[in-house]
Amino acid sequence: MSIRLPFFGLLAKRDPMEGLVEHYNKIAECIATIDESLECYVGGGVCREFEELTRTIDEIENHADVIKRNIRNHLPRGLFMPVEKPLFLSYTKSQDNILDSAQEALHWLAMRKVDIPEDIQKDLIYLLDAVERTTILLGPALEATIALVNGESLDRDGTKNLYCKVRRERENVRTLKNELQKSVYAKDIPFKDIYQILHFIGCLDDMAHNTENCADFLRSMIAR
In a domain, 2, yes or no: no
In a domain, 10, yes or no: no
In a domain, 1, yes or no: no
Distance between CA atoms of residues 187 and 191, nearest Å: 9
In a domain, 202, yes or no: yes
Ramachandran area for residue 155 (φ above 0: left; ψ -120 to 50: alpha; else beta): beta
The sign of the dihedral angle between the CA atoms of 64, 69, 74, 80 is: positive
Beta carbons of 38 and 126 less than 8 angstroms apart:
no
pLDDT of residue 148: 92
Q: Which candidate, 168, 162, 170, places its Cα nearest to that of 218? A: 162
In a domain, 6, yes or no: no
Distance between CA atoms of residues 73 and 71, nearest Å: 6
User: What is the extent of the structural domain holding 123?
Assistant: 16-222
Give Cβ neighbours of residue 180 (< 8 Å, ≥ 6 apart): 120, 123, 124, 127, 201
In a domain, 7, yes or no: no
Task: Look at the chain and report how many structural domains it folds into.
Answer: 1
In a domain, 3, yes or no: no
> CATH number of the domain that 156 lies in?
1.20.58.220
Encode the chain (224 residues) as per-residue pLDDT tens digits: 444 544 444 444 557 888 899 999 999 888 888 888 887 777 655 566 777 888 898 999 899 999 988 888 888 766 567 788 899 999 999 999 999 999 999 888 888 888 888 889 999 999 999 999 999 999 999 999 999 998 898 999 999 999 999 999 999 999 999 999 999 999 999 999 999 999 999 999 999 999 999 999 999 999 86
pLDDT of residue 9: 45
pLDDT of residue 1: 42
Distance linking the first and last C-alpha atoms of the chain? 12
In a domain, 68, yes or no: yes
